[in-house]
Amino acid sequence: MGYSAKAVANFILGLGERDGISLSPMSLLKLVYIAHGWHLALRMTPLVTDEHPEAWDYGPVFPSVYYEFRKYGSGAIKCPALELMHYDDGEWREEVPSVAQNDLVTQDLIEKVWKEYNHFTAFQLSDLTHQPGTPWYQTRLTAAGYRNTPITSDLIKDHFRELAWKNREHRTRQVA
């Protein structure tokens, strides 16, 4: 099942709140992207289905998450993202988007990403997504100077599948 980028961001913010870890917008942007990448690699479908990440100057960004939380600068995010929803009764209401409570598979995957990456600083997470060969790097190289170019799902999936394979090989060598 896919979600809005803001729903994934809110789930990650909830994990941070549970564990007493504050998140800056940059940390959150990178964690949403990394969770999306692992979901593509392991489940073969996008986690975020309402937009594509874009190759911005400072890394991969889901624009809706950036614009929602940019007011916090480099400080801690204080409240969840909101979405304006239109209902059958003709009314518009702000809602807090979320990952479905019964979608335990998706929650588990995001939780594993959280446990693996929550100790990294915003700049360390940014560095991880900027390395040569990453989807962000490849997109920036081929974008011919165009800013905010969408990063394709295939690039992201292939990159994270390669990471999974390297992790598997590394664990196999440690056991042997």
The ranges assigned to domains in the chain are 5-175
Predicted TM-score (pTM) of the model is: 0.92
Tell me the per-residue pLDDT of 13-69, one tens digit each, with 9 for 90 and over: 999 999 999 999 999 999 999 999 999 999 999 999 999 999 998 899 999 999 999
Whole-number Cα distances in Å, 64 to 56, 77, 85: 13, 15, 15
In the block, residue with structure tokens 């664990």:
171
* Strand order, beta sheet including 54-56: 59-61, 54-56, 149-150
Helix (H, G, I), strand (E, B) or coil at 4: coil
Largest CA distance in the chain: 63
